[in-house]
Amino acid sequence: MTWSLSEVFKKYAGWCPMAAAAQQNKRNDTPVVPVTRSDDAGPVARRAVLFFRLTFAVAVLAWIVAIAALPYLPETIPIHWNINGEADGFADRPWGTFGLPAIITASLVLLFLLPRFDQLRGSFEDSRDIYAIIIFATVCLLFGIEVTSLLDAAGMNLPMGMVFPIILGFFFIVLGGLMPYLRRNTTVGIRLPWTIRSERVWDETHRHGGPVFAAAGILMVLLSL
């Protein structure tokens, strides 16, 4: 007996995103229209501005930390560690020190510009505060990696095989907690053809996917201890 992917989803999960999207498209042949902004646009905008400012502050702090740490660092700095937490990649002091602040700055600019090209920008506007928090969490993740790397390079000999997974695990926990509140967009989230086509499928996918991401983060932290 041959089962399609949709039938497998229905049998074991009780719900199939592909089938749901197809059914909704059959019921509604009109093109997808971006959702208008809600009445909560004021608070949403204020929260977005707040977290964008916090993100900018962390990016500036990343450069300050790198400059302050420079005199205490050796000529060769570890920039990559294997699964056992042993350094197996190195760089000269300038790149090893300022590489991550540069990556943080470039990531911040890219993530700030991406929503301008979103195909469902009208809908995305309603959750731009959530997107701002995701950017903040991403920059904090990179900043945490930077601080940990610099401390290890300065001679503190941190257990990198434990620290990095913990930082990443907390990032997944935050991401999982935010996912159910993301409105349909083409910039961030579980962006699949059937989730982009249907708002209901998008909401259901992220409502189920968020706890999975959070659980993965918790598991990652626990296994690292």
Q: Tens digit of pLDDT for each residue in 190-220?
A: 999 989 999 999 999 999 999 999 999 999 9
Domain ranges in the chain are 39-224
List pLDDT tens digits, range 69-89: 999 999 998 888 888 888 888
User: Over the chain, what is the mean pLDDT?
Assistant: 83
- Residue 201's pLDDT is 93
pLDDT over 60 at 23, yes or no? no
Around Cβ 51, how many Cβ atoms within 10 Å?
Answer: 20
- Residue 16's pLDDT is 52
User: What average pLDDT does this structure show over 93-118?
Assistant: 91
* 8 Å CB contact between 160 and 187: no
| Greater pLDDT, 2 or 166 | 166
* 8 Å CB contact between 189 and 202: yes
pLDDT more than 70, % of the chain: 82
- Give the pLDDT band (50/70/90) at residue 19: low
Model pTM? 0.78
pLDDT over 80 at 11, yes or no? no
- Residue 5's pLDDT is 44
- Residue 44's pLDDT is 81
- Give the pLDDT band (50/70/90) at residue 122: confident
List pLDDT tens digits, range 123-174: 778 888 999 999 999 999 999 999 999 999 998 888 888 999 999 999 999 9
The CA distance from 34 to 186, in Å, is 11
| Greater pLDDT, 119 or 13 | 119
Residue 133, SS3? Answer: helix
* 8 Å CB contact between 97 and 77: yes
